[in-house]
Amino acid sequence: MTQFEPGLRSLAAGSLPHTDPAAAWQLVQDTLDIATWPQLPKRSFLENMYVQYSERFPGIVLESERIHVDRERALETELERLYIAYLGEDLAYAAVGRDYAAGLHHLLEQDKERRPIVKGQVTGPVSWGLTVVDQDRRPVLYDDVLAEAVAKHLRLKATWMERELRGVADQTIIFVDEPYMSSYGSALISLSQSQVETLMAEVLAGIQGLSGVHCCGNTDWSLLLSTGVDILNPDAYEYADTLALYPDEVGAFLERGGIIAWGIVPASDEVLHETVDSLVERFHQAIGLLTAKGLHRDDLLAASLITPSCGCGSLSVETAERVLQTTGQVARALQERYA
């Protein structure tokens, strides 16, 4: 794992409701310790978290604000291009265009200040492959050929993004966003543990610096903790009790240098009913669930970051600003207490 001191610093999941990338980037800089390039889904359908990483995927079709893969057309040539790029580490093939990520390109092109660390994010293979469907509305992840292509495609995207961010920062964090992991193990998803592990391992292998995984619901945390990821980012506002069901796995994760990015600030209108003090108390309750099962409080504090519970892209601008401001304030309050 890359040397990194969490220090109870703040960062964000990624999405914001702004349509102006400069305004979104300014908000991030003004509120958070670790800058995160902003995804702007209200600016354009192309910045939807599934569309955003779809460029050049074999058979991809975007029409009427819908994304799907057309399996009725011959995909052999497009699949061959993907595999040639993958085997040759052709990162130009994986570039995310300006129209698909205005916040990222604003950071890369407009902001000349070199930073100690910057965070980026890609959509994870489970969520991407279950959301993007073929012409018959069947998730592409249930096609063995396309499932393998999804993982390799997103690995290239993650590697390209990490390379670009290293141009503006000394250290990088790349999160793999997996909201659909909250449905893992249910009747909604017919994927085995080994399939999920293989898909995740492929994408994570493309990240040389710090890697993280974000899930904004309940899931089998033991699976994600075993992936080799450096940072686990759960929705700790709602689901801290479910993480505490895996004390042995969390302990092993911390022992190998793992970090928990506690999503303790609600990314919803609930933030309007919380205070810094109430959320600091909620953080203590969250880590208390684990200390009650034998983990050491100091170990947890030393391995903690503070984040919103999820992205803010669906909120109003005013509420999103409140979420990020509160996240920064909670982090500072904890830093002052435990410095």
Closest CA to 279 of 217, 237, 319, 216: 237
Q: What SS3 class is residue 296?
A: coil
Q: How confident is the model at residue 30 (pLDDT cuts 50, 70, 90)?
A: very high
Tell me what the pLDDT averaged over the chain comes to.
94
Q: For the purposes of burial, counting CB atoms within 10 Å of the CB of 81, is it exposed (0-12), middle (13-18) or buried (19 or more)?
A: middle
pLDDT of residue 2: 60
**Per-residue model confidence as pLDDT tens digits over 125-183:** 999 999 999 999 999 999 999 999 999 999 999 999 999 999 999 999 999 999 988 77
Q: What SS3 class is residue 322?
A: helix
Instruction: Name the token pair of 89.
Output: 């580490």
Position 16 in a domain? no
pLDDT of residue 183: 75
Position 9 in a domain? no
Instruction: Name the token pair of 334.
Output: 């904890």
CATH code where residue 224 lies:
3.20.20.210
pLDDT of residue 261: 98
Position 2 in a domain? no
pLDDT of residue 130: 94
The residues, ordered by sequence, that sit 6+ positions from 166 with a Cβ below 8 Å of its Cβ are: 172, 209
Q: How confident is the model at residue 185 (pLDDT cuts 50, 70, 90)?
A: low
Would you say residue 61 has pLDDT above 60? yes
pLDDT of residue 187: 59
Residue 297 lies in domain: 21-338
**Per-residue model confidence as pLDDT tens digits over 289-322:** 999 999 999 999 999 999 999 999 999 999 999 9
Strand 66-69 vs strand 60-63: parallel, antiparallel, or unpaired?
antiparallel
Q: What SS3 class is residue 10?
A: strand
Position 15 in a domain? no
Position 268 in a domain? yes
Question: For residue 40, which phi and psi values (nearest 5 degrees)?
Answer: -125, 75
Instruction: Name the token pair of 158.
Output: 């993650």
Position 10 in a domain? no
pTM beyond 0.85, yes or no: yes
Q: What is the number of domains present in the chain?
A: 1
